[in-house]
Amino acid sequence: MLKAVLFDMDGVLVDSEEIIFLAARQMFHEHGITVSREDFKPFIGTGENRYLGGVAEKYGFAIDIERDKARTYEIYAQIAPEKLKILPGVKAFIKKCKSKKLKLAVATSADEIKMTVNLKAAGLFNGVFDVTVNGLEVINKKPHPEIYLKAAEKLNVEPFECLVVEDAVNGVEAAKSAGALCLAVTTSFAPSELTKADWIVKNLRYVPEKVLNW
Q: Which among 10, 15, 39, 68 is annotated as catalytic? A: 10
Cβ neighbours around 125 below 10 Å, total: 15
Q: Which among 8, 15, 39, 111 is annotated as catalytic? A: 8
Q: Are strands 14-15 and 85-86 parallel, antiparallel or unpaired?
A: antiparallel
pLDDT reported for residue 47: 85
Whole-number Å distance between alpha carbons of 189 and 103: 27
pLDDT reported for residue 126: 87
pLDDT reported for residue 98: 97
| Chain Cα centroid distance, residue 65 | 20
Asked whether the beta carbons of 157 and 129 are under 8 A apart, the reply is no
pLDDT reported for residue 46: 86
68 counts as catalytic? no
Per-residue pLDDT of the chain (214 residues; tens, 9 = 90+): 999 999 999 999 999 989 999 999 999 999 999 999 999 999 988 889 999 999 999 999 999 999 999 999 999 999 999 999 999 999 999 999 999 999 999 999 999 999 999 999 999 998 999 999 999 999 999 999 999 999 999 999 999 999 999 999 999 999 999 999 999 999 999 999 999 999 999 999 999 999 999 9
Asked whether the beta carbons of 199 and 211 are under 8 A apart, the reply is yes
pLDDT reported for residue 155: 98
8 counts as catalytic? yes
**What fold, for 4-15+85-212?**
Rossmann fold (3.40.50)
Whole-number Å distance between alpha carbons of 96 and 101: 9
Tell me the domain boundaries of the chain: 4-15+85-212, 17-83
pLDDT reported for residue 191: 98
pLDDT reported for residue 200: 98
